[in-house]
Amino acid sequence: MPHRYHNPVSIHSGRGSLERLPEILAGRRVVVVTFPEARGLGLVARLEALLKETLVAVIEDVRPNPDVAQLAELYNAFWEAGATCDAIVAVGGGSAIDTAKALMVGTASGKFDELLGLLATGQPFVPASVKPLIAVPTTAGTGSEVTPWATIWDAGNQKKYSLHLQQTWPEAAVIDPELMLSVPAGTTVSTGLDALSHALESIWNVNANPVSDTFAVSAVQDIFACLPALRNDLGNIELRERMALAALKAGMAFSNTKTALAHSISYEMTLRHGLAHGIACSFTLPIVLEKAWARSPDCDRTLQLLFGPDLGAGMQRLRDFLQALGVKTEFADYGVADSEAAAMIARAMAGARGKNFIGAAEVA
Ligand SMILES: NC(=O)c1ccc[n+]([C@@H]2O[C@H](COP(=O)([O-])OP(=O)(O)OC[C@H]3O[C@@H](n4cnc5c(N)ncnc54)[C@H](O)[C@@H]3O)[C@@H](O)[C@H]2O)c1
Ligand SMILES: [Zn+2]
């Protein structure tokens, strides 16, 4: 079967790559969107020194899981001020990058309610104006720096929206593992497991192709090899660098396939049970592996490169890996009874991401 792989993001990676920002921006005036701890870590001062008078403003109160309640305020203030910048630089985890993706899309009225109305239709639209985005991830996880989509949460209404436009691909990604040295153990694990989930979800996916598979296999191998060691040695820059690259490769993989069943299940676990994204989308990986097995010869070949020919042994390997990182692997561990879990999986299978799952057609 012919296939196509496409990713337009210009990637700068490696220790010290943050220093490349002025060159990448080439004099453009920017607003920085970053996470609350960035100032205390000296990161805001570093950005001020790097960007000098081209830095128009810093938005630093970005809370985890960008929610419509906070985004409305940020968005309206950003566009009311005339968005007096040429580009946005997001420096943070997926929450800062996804917040910046919402900000970059200008509506005709400059009001967030209009953006939300457009997102609610679930259809692509052409924004009235767009600010280019440079994404600088400070966690090794979401891959949002190389994908065109953002998750926008509405916890009050137990909903989520997906922003996905041709215009929301970042222009460039700057992946500097030195920025990840301050990530605490729990977030290092949960974000690393998010990347593992992205890689596996791109393999058991109806949109998988040989290029996405190549990125995904390499990402899974790196994460298996590095994440447990990194959790016990958070200041190890070599391990941080390998995890940063693993998350990037996972991002490259799922940037072309989207996610699948484990992520579809995760949204309900986050909204209803408050689980961090990385845990919510990874604790089910052994169960989802079982459902993906023996669905397609191509997918099996790729999965067997990682797990060998025996499904039971593969599931156990994943379970052991997760449990050694302190992650519980059963729904019951999170207070979800078997019957509720089965209903949740069925709902997830019918959701937009669930339909990408290679086993969806057979199970439905
Ligand atoms: N767009 C995509 O493709 C995509 C993919 C997966 C997840 N997501 C979204 O990303 C969000 C999760 O992102 P995340 O997992 O990176 O977590 P996050 O951005 O919410 O960050 C987690 C915590 O770590 C802090 N933090 C971030 N970088 C730090 C650093 N260098 N040092 C110290 N603390 C730091 C943050 O302030 C926050 O408290 C979710 O909203 C999820 O929906 C998006
Ligand atoms: Zn994810």
Q: What does the pLDDT read at residue 81?
A: 84
Closest CA to ligand 1's atom 27: 93
CA of 256 to the centre of ligand 2 (A): 14
**CB-based burial of residue 355 (10 Å sphere; 0-12 exposed, 13-18 middle, 19+ buried)?**
middle
Alpha carbon of residue 290 to chain centroid: 24
SS3 335: coil
Ligand 1 nearest-atom number relative to CA 190: 15
| DSSP one-letter code for 15 | T
Q: Residues near ligand 1 with C-beta < 6 Å?
A: 35-37, 64-65, 92-96, 98, 138-139, 141-144, 147, 149-151, 179-180, 182-183, 187, 191, 194, 277-278
Distance, CA of 230 to CA of 240 (rounded, Å): 7
- pTM of the prediction? 0.96
CA of 147 to the centre of ligand 1 (A): 14
β pairing state of 129-130 and 133-137: unpaired
Q: What is the pLDDT of residues 234-247, one digit of tens each?
A: 999 999 999 999 99
Closest CA to ligand 1's atom 17: 93
**CB-based burial of residue 255 (10 Å sphere; 0-12 exposed, 13-18 middle, 19+ buried)?**
buried
Q: What does the pLDDT read at residue 83?
A: 75
Q: What does the pLDDT read at residue 264?
A: 95
Q: How far is CA 225 from each of CA 13, 67, 222, rounded to the nearest angstrom?
A: 20, 34, 5
Closest CA to ligand 1's atom 35: 183
Nearest Cα to 57, choosing from 30, 92, 75? 30
Q: What does the pLDDT read at residue 361?
A: 64
Residues in the chain: 364
DSSP per position, 102-171: HHHEE-SS--HHHHHHHHHTTS----SEE--EEEEESSSS--GGG-SEEEEEEGGGTEEEEEE-GGGS-S
Taking only Cα atoms into account, the Rg of the chain, rounded to an integer number of angstroms, comes to: 20
| DSSP one-letter code for 61 | -
Ligand 1 nearest-atom number relative to CA 263: 6
Q: What is the pLDDT of residues 129-173, one digit of tens each?
A: 999 999 999 999 999 999 999 999 998 998 989 999 999 999 999
Low-confidence spans in the chain with pLDDT less than 50: 363-364
Q: Starting from the CA of residue 143, give the closest ligand.
A: 1
**CB-based burial of residue 93 (10 Å sphere; 0-12 exposed, 13-18 middle, 19+ buried)?**
buried
CA of 94 to the centre of ligand 1 (A): 4
Distance, CA of 2 to CA of 21 (rounded, Å): 37
Q: What does the pLDDT read at residue 362?
A: 53
Ligand 1 nearest-atom number relative to CA 62: 37
The pair of structure tokens assigned to 177 is: 């593992």
